[in-house]
């Protein structure tokens, strides 16, 4: 399963990205707004500083504008940019044109199995269901497994990347599924390292090591 970072704070991303396990970064207008910087400036910095895919969402809502905007965004780094477009009539229609242009697209804001079916049939390279927001609407996260089954059974090339997480339990549920990846903010990845059991074990290891009188060891 691929791990992506869903964040716009480049300094926070840098501290996490150095772990060397991430396949890319995902942004959207809401994420870029939180950075309190010019969106294009943030995107360009991400391309300069971090390796891997960069998912960038089109802000336009009209079809022609979406195509023009998407082409310009893609030109920033054709080998790395993956467009994002919300599930909509415009988004589904745009998939055909972007497919002809060989520009990869993620259909985002996914909440139902029929939406995945339509996006996959229209040629979406990725679909992004929103885990936390689904639960907020009373939708059981087991529906994500059904979404993946539609993709698998239909032999679509579409990849599913789950996003919008608020709890480790939601992440655990997604991690059990045969989906392509998950995308989380920096703070949520930080919670992986904060488990009380793990921290206690580390403290015990340190204490036991310090209690060894003759600690002759390898040179460091």
Q: Report, as residue numbers or ranges, the catalytic residues.
A: 84
Tokens read off for 5: 């970072």
Whether 108 contacts 82, CB under 8 Å: no
Beta bridge pairs of residue 184:
5
Closest alpha carbon to 32 in 51, 52, 13: 13
* Alpha carbons 163 and 68: distance in angstroms, whole number: 26
Whether 11 contacts 36, CB under 8 Å: no
Concatenated DSSP letters for 135-186?
A: HHTT--THHHHHHHHHHHHTT---EEEEB----HHHHHHHHTS--SEEEE-H
Concatenated DSSP letters for 120-139?
A: HHHT-SEEEEBHHHHHHTT-
In the block, residue with structure tokens 């403290």 = 203
Closest alpha carbon to 115 in 133, 89, 137: 89
């Amino acid at each position: 399963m691929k791990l992506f970072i869903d964040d716009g704070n480049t300094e926070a991303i840098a501290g996490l990205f150095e772990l060397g396990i991430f396949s890319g970064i995902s942004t959207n207008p809401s994420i870029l707004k939180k950075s309190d910087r010019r969106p294009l400036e943030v995107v360009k910095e991400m391309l300069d500083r971090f390796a891997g895919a960069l998912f960038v969402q089109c802000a336009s809502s009209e079809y022609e504008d979406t195509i023009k905007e998407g082409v310009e965004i893609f030109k920033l780094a054709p080998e790395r940019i993956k467009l994002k477009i919300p599930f909509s009539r415009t988004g589904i229609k745009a998939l055909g044109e972007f497919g002809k242009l060989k520009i990869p697209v993620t259909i985002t804001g996914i909440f139902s199995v029929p939406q995945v079916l339509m996006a996959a049939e229209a040629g979406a390279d990725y679909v992004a269901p929103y885990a936390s927001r689904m639960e907020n609407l009373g939708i059981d996260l087991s529906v994500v497994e059904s979404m993946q089954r539609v993709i698998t059974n239909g032999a679509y090339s579409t990849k599913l990347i789950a996003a919008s997480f608020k709890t480790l339990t939601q992440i655990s549920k997604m991690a059990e599924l045969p989906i392509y990846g998950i995308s989380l903010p920096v703070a949520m990845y930080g919670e992986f390292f904060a488990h009380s059991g793990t921290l206690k074990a580390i403290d015990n290891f340190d204490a036991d090591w310090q209690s060894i009188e003759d600690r002759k060891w390898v040179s460091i």
